[in-house]
Structure 1
Amino acid sequence: MSKLTLISFALCPFVQRAVIALKEKNVPFDVVYIDLANKPQWFLDISPLGKVPVLKVPRDRQEDAVVFESAVILEYLEETAPGVKLHPADPLERAQHRAWIEYGSAVLGDLYRFGSAKTATDLDGARQTLLQKFTRLEQTVVGPFFAGEKFSYVDAVFAPAFRQLDAVETVTDTGLLDAFPKVSDWRKALAARPSVKEAVPADFVDLYLLRLRGHEALVLKAAA
């Protein structure tokens, strides 16, 4: 496979999914960071939705192809990249994993609401929604990874969500996972994975907390 280029934004959890997959599959790639608040025209020209991640795929004697949307990028890598497979071989298990990937996207949405809440009502509402989702995950996770010993795309999807929680908990205790030992162990196993560690810039925590403070996030008020 020719060297790929991933168009990225430093804080985007959906980009992290693609980076984790590329590293798990040992696929060489370059990263180009952009500012989503000031998108360059060249990016808008190749990104139909104006979002990251975007994967540029070289083609012989042709213009580079573009693949967008993180779930599609993961599927493309699964079909084309050599080495380890990150989806189960069984069609039913593979379908179930894809469903849990969607669940992971919903958790990210809930975490965004939790992190951007400005009122106690909004913060508590987001907290209760997350607790409900973690309850279901506690009943499902096998350990040490989602489905057992083998790292999968579901793990690649949830790792960026837990990373956001890790960042917040460098300054204040959320208590979100206190009642969920299996999910807590899963979170730790993901945080220790080399591909997960290397999926963000070194200053990710500072950048993420700066963003939350810019949103006047209530969850950080206790740490102010």
Structure 2
Amino acid sequence: MSSLTLISHLLCPYVQRAAIALAEKGVPFEKIYIDLKAKPDWFLKISPLGKVPLLMVPQAHGSEAILFESSVIAEYIDESQPGPRLHPDDALTRARHRGFMEYGSSILADIWGLETTRDATVFEEKRKALIDKFGRVEDVLGDGPYFAGSKFSLVDAVFAPVFRYFDTFDEITDLGIFASYPKISAWRKALAARPSVQEAVTPGYRQLLREFLKKYDAYMLTLAS
């Protein structure tokens, strides 16, 4: 049976979640990149929402099953593939982790507003919203280095792409979002050092993100020192 195939976009944080989960499980996979501004017909035929990621899972007789939605894909990878479990065994703890995975998605929504707005007022609203949301995460973190302590989990796979944005943002300006959050700062550093996280994007990711900001004429760029 051939390997799994991950349909991707170069900047998509949701794709990174799946790529990280696959790498953590040691699963070989092929990655196919598409342009979301010019979605190919074959992609639109298999993607119910017209979004990435998609995971193409080989089946018998040469057919393929298509999975969509990053959290669904990540959980399928965890449940179906050998290697260390990335979700807790305890049902209550697992449900709590799923909640924080969704919380990570809500943070991504605010990051989208932060990086695409041309308006100073909207930018500040998003910056303050992110400070508040990360503060709630700071309150639940333990001694680390990961969300659940020493064990890497799917929550880490969700937040690693979140923190990756700030590697580029920090080169532009000091947003001050993590200034009062030592646990998050340590978590961010630990995730950045993880090979699965480093390999989830192409080497040109930071430049591509800068080009994205320029395309939107982002207010953030006016703050560059």
TM-score by length of 2: 0.97
- Unaligned 5+ segments in structure 1 are none
Shift of 1:171: 2.4
> Counterparts of 1:210 and 1:64 in 2: how far apart (Å)?
35
Aligned residue in 1 for 2:14: 14
1:128 alignment partner in structure 2? 128
What residue number does 2:52 align with? 52
Find out whether 1:222 has 2:188 as its counterpart: no
Measure the CA separation in 2 of the matches of 1:198 and 1:141. 25
1:38-117 matches, within 5 Å, as 38-117=38-117
List 4+ stretches of structure 1 deviating above 6 A. none
Residue type at the aligned position of 1:27: V
Q: Deviations over 1:73-101 (max 9, x none)?
A: 01111210111100011110000000000
Equivalent in the alignment of 1:32: 32
Please give the root-mean-square deviation of Cα atoms over the aligned residues, in Å: 1.1
**What residue in structure 2 maps to residue 208 of structure 1?**
209
**Aligned partners of 2:147 and 2:20: how far apart in 1?**
15
Letter in 2 for 1:94: R
In the alignment, what sits opposite 2:190? 189
- Write the distance in 2 (CA, Å) between the matches of 1:124 and 1:170: 18
Aligned length: 224
Percentage of matched positions with identical amino acids: 53
Q: Is the CA contact (8 Å cut-off) linking 1:21 and 1:153 kept in structure 2?
A: yes
Deviation by residue 1:8-54 (Cα, 9 ceiling, x = unmatched): 00000000000000000000100000000001111111111110000
Structure 1, residues 120-173: CA drift from partner, whole Å, max 9, x if none?
A: 110111011111101111111121111101000000000001001111112222
Q: Give the SS at the match of 1:66.
A: strand
**In 2, Cα distance between equivalents of 1:2 and 1:180:** 44
TM-score w.r.t. the length of structure 1 is: 0.97
**Equivalent pair of 1:168/1:220 in contact (CA under 8 Å):** no
Mapped partners of 2:114, 2:140: distance in 1? 23
